[in-house]
Amino acid sequence: MGSQYAALRLVTLADNLEHPWSIGFLPDGRILVTERPGALNIIADGTVTEVTGLPDIHARGQGGLMEVLPHYDFEKNGWIYLTYSKADGQGLTATALYRARLDGNRLVDGSDIFVQDRYSQPGRHYGSKLAWTPDGKLLMSIGDRGADPPRAQDLGDHAGTLLRLNDDGTAPDDNPFVGVEGALPEIYSYGHRNIQGLVVDPRNGQIWVTEHGPRGGDELNLVEAGTNFGWPVVSLGLDYRTQETFRHTRARRMDGMADPLYEFLPTHAPSGLALLADNIFSPRWEDNLLAGGLASQRIRRLVVDNPDGFYEVIHDEELLLREIGRIRDVRVGPEKNIYIVTDSRQGALYRLEPGQ
């Protein structure tokens, strides 16, 4: 298996996983993998062990158990963070953040530390990506929830946002909308449709996201505090059914709303995003982004440059094109290899490593 500037080898670490969603790494080398129907697994040496003690998960459509992320200081506190679709008992759901300690193969001392402010019809656009920033804050994405896209323009609604939280789920005092009348203090940026790729550069704190457009309009964005990314008022995509301008969209660009840094063409359906900092594959791959794709069934290797202070993607290479199916998550492991899970009823965990 090869690529521009790098030879690659793909290794299967575990298979027969039901719609695996997210990958997390423990300090001792074990790997955490969630399955959307509601399972959390520990994978080590080819053995898959299910973890008990999870919250009550409402799995329907795109909802279920989604992200897993250990605390950055896991060796001292044992905290694991999960995102999932939480039911209100009346047929509605919300994106929730659950924190618990990993004790052997079970979760203990668990509780919801954040639940989005408004429950809505289940099934679509939960977002749910998590990432730590260098200052120890937790980023969390929430999708627009599908049925009412203009929620993403309402600072009094968590839908369609990227949140910045303390590690206990509360809002930091220095978030951009703290003290703004009618705004929720957890919001860091808004106007997002459904962020499902999120990575933070540990060297400088830059926040990179990939998000789904409607029909087309899939985006790569570099997020800064307080930015409005425009959805659904601004979009490069079209309506799924009519293939015409989306009903809530007024323009492709608008003052006061950030343009995407890059539009994926053709449609990519992005999910999972990794940054190749200090990579082991090729000097030509240094600082590249790897953006997984669901419908496209490939990874896009993106070369980003900023010679004049403005970031732009100057090269886009397809990897694993339709070789393993729908790419749900892409991560760089502690030893710098690339880890991937595929979204299917018989999904798998793979390691992509340098080849000969």
Measured CA to CA, the distance from residue 37 to residue 19 in angstroms comes to: 7
Q: How far apart are alpha carbons 161 and 186 in whole angstroms?
A: 9
Whether residue 345 contacts residue 288, with contact meaning beta carbons closer than 8 Å, is answered with no
How many whole angstroms separate alpha carbon 354 and alpha carbon 232?
41
Distance CA 85, CA 246 (A): 27
125 counts as catalytic: yes
Assess contact for 84 and 96: CB atoms under 8 A: yes
Q: Which two tokens stand for residue 95?
A: 């994106």
Instruction: Give CA–CA dist 24/85, Å, rounded.
Output: 19
Q: Which of 58, 71, 125, 192 is catalytic?
A: 125
Residue pair 120/95 in contact by the 8 Å Cβ criterion:
no
Residues with catalytic function: 125
